[in-house]
Amino acid sequence: MNKQAGNRKRRVTIKDIAREAGVSKSTVSLVLKNSPLIKKETAALVRAASKALGYVYNRTAANLRTSRSFIVGVLISDLGNPFFSEMVPVIEECLEPEGIVVMLANTTEKPERQKRAISTFLEHNVDGLLISPARYSTLEDLGPLVSSPVPSVFINRYLNDFPGNYVGADNVVGTAMAVERLLASGHRRIAFVGGEDGSSPRPERLEGFRIAFEKYGCVPDPELIVNAQGNRWGGYTAIRELVPRPNPPTAAFCYNDIIALGVMLGLQSKGIRPGRNFAVIGFDDISEARLWTPSLSTVAIPPELVARRAARFLLERIKNPGDPERILIAPRLAIRESCGTAEKLKRIAKKNHRRLKGAPMANS
């Protein structure tokens, strides 16, 4: 091996850059850390020397000095759900300015995969974890995270017996707002479509559903509260089973937007036009909701907003550990075509009033 080949293989050091740029090693170190203490001209000179020599930042050595990996684990329960797939790029965008990269795992709602992924993340010395736990998760499914000092933030779901940090929607308030809108429009036969057992938001959204009915002096029909897979097919099959009944629903509150889109497809397959003679409201406000025909009314807790709040909260906990905290994001209603225009809603209300006239409200 000749001398030139040997030089090519030797790792360029800060000392080499300092010699090339004619500055001290401490100056080079500050420039590489983007310190504002160094003049722009000097910083440009150091970076030019670094580039000319082919310097590559030694992250492993830096991690040993700082006891940080600059990696955050992101654990998603179902990456096929657009709500979560829209979150991931935003999380990366929020963490990138801090020099942090994302290590992603998709559990597909399997607690055992979740446990293995958490163990792997911790073995890689991640700085923190963002977790949407799988359905039916237990403390055991969190593995070593239960006793680990590594900060974590749960997104949209939580475990009742684990006092962790949490960022998610105010499910009770959001659902109550949506159902009150339907009740105010004259609907009484309102279906609650979707959500599966073992997920923390479902009982909260059911509570909001019932609170809205109580406010209007009504009782929801338990036969119209149905489980469904959290996807389009779940909504499609659920509504096709509901509408042929003798006393069918005239509106549906859907557990999430994806289910709501499936509900609208199911209605259309039965010759029912969402927004004309049936009202539909979802939950989340994914990008697709605005682009659908008809556009989907929803409880707006956009994935981008949740992702930013969760990522920033985790950064705070990485820098300043503290007691577990719950952050509830206030919902708003995004009323679009699937609920009909004000004029259409008025016609529905009059029609329902005539049909229900004389019937006891509590039994409707």
Domain of 318, CATH number, reads: 3.40.50.2300
Torsion of CA 103, 108, 111, 116, to 10 degrees: -30
Does residue 62 lie within any of the structural domains? no
Q: What is the pLDDT of residue 15?
A: 86
**Closest Cα to residue 105, out of 292, 158, 342, 126?**
126
Question: Do both 226 and 351 map to the same domain?
Answer: yes
Q: Taking a C-beta distance cutoff of 8 angstroms, is the pair 362, 284 a contact?
A: no
Structural tokens at position 83: 């709500």
Question: What total number of domains does the chain contain?
Answer: 3
Q: What is the pLDDT of residues 180-225, one digit of tens each?
A: 999 999 999 999 999 888 888 999 999 999 999 999 999 999 999 9
Q: Taking a C-beta distance cutoff of 8 angstroms, is the pair 153, 164 a contact?
A: yes
Structural tokens at position 237: 């099959």
Q: What is the pLDDT of residues 301-346, one digit of tens each?
A: 999 999 999 999 999 999 998 899 999 999 999 999 998 644 455 5
Question: Do both 210 and 343 map to the same domain?
Answer: yes
pTM for the model stands at 0.76
Q: What is the pLDDT of residue 61?
A: 54
In the listed set 57, 84, 100, which residue is the last one of a domain according to the structure?
57
Structural tokens at position 88: 């991931």
Confidence category of residue 348, pLDDT binned at 50, 70, 90: low
* pLDDT score of 27 more than 90: no
Question: Do both 32 and 79 map to the same domain?
Answer: no
Beta bridge partners of 104: 74
Does residue 64 lie within any of the structural domains? no
Q: How far apart are CA 195 and CA 263, in angstroms?
A: 13
Question: Do both 215 and 343 map to the same domain?
Answer: yes
Helix (H, G, I), strand (E, B) or coil at 138: coil
**180-183 own/partner pairs: CB under 8 Å, 24+ apart:** 180/212, 180/215, 180/216, 181/281, 181/333, 181/335, 181/339, 182/251, 182/253, 182/279, 182/281, 182/339, 183/212, 183/213, 183/215, 183/216, 183/218
Question: Do both 314 and 354 map to the same domain?
Answer: no
Quote the percentage of the chain above a pLDDT of 90. Answer: 66
Weakest-pLDDT range from 53-57, 198-202, 246-250, 256-260: 53-57
Q: Pick 37 or 209 by higher pLDDT.
A: 209
What totals of helices (H) and strands (E) does the chain contain, helices first?
14, 12
Helix (H, G, I), strand (E, B) or coil at 320: coil
At what angle are helices 82-95 and 257-269 packed, to 10 degrees? 150
Does residue 63 lie within any of the structural domains? no
Q: Taking a C-beta distance cutoff of 8 angstroms, is the pair 265, 329 a contact?
A: no
Structural tokens at position 205: 């959204």
Q: Tell me, what amino acid is at 244? A: P
Q: Taking a C-beta distance cutoff of 8 angstroms, is the pair 16, 23 a contact?
A: no
Highest mean pLDDT out of 35-39, 63-67, 284-288, 347-351:
284-288
Question: Do both 283 and 195 map to the same domain?
Answer: yes
Q: Which domain holds residue 134?
A: 69-169+304-329
Q: Taking a C-beta distance cutoff of 8 angstroms, is the pair 239, 266 a contact?
A: yes
Structural tokens at position 76: 């998603």
Q: Tell me, what amino acid is at 184? A: A
Q: How far apart are CA 83 and CA 261, in angstroms?
A: 13
Q: Taking a C-beta distance cutoff of 8 angstroms, is the pair 63, 78 a contact?
A: no
* DSSP conformational letter for 184: H
* pLDDT score of 352 more than 90: no
Q: How many CB atoms lie within 10 A of CB 143?
A: 18
Structural tokens at position 59: 């992250």
Looking at every residue in the chain, the average pLDDT score rounds to 87
Q: Tell me, what amino acid is at 312? A: R
Question: Do both 345 and 202 map to the same domain?
Answer: yes
Q: What is the pLDDT of residues 5-22, one digit of tens each?
A: 444 456 788 888 889 889
Q: How far apart are CA 199 and CA 154, in angstroms?
A: 13
Average pLDDT over residues 253-279: 95
Sign of CA dihedral 106, 308, 310, 256: negative
Give the HSE-up count for residue 216: Cα atoms under 13 Å, Cβ half-sphere. 26
Q: Taking a C-beta distance cutoff of 8 angstroms, is the pair 115, 140 a contact?
A: yes
Does residue 151 lie within any of the structural domains? yes
| Residue that the structure tokens 């109550």 belong to | 176
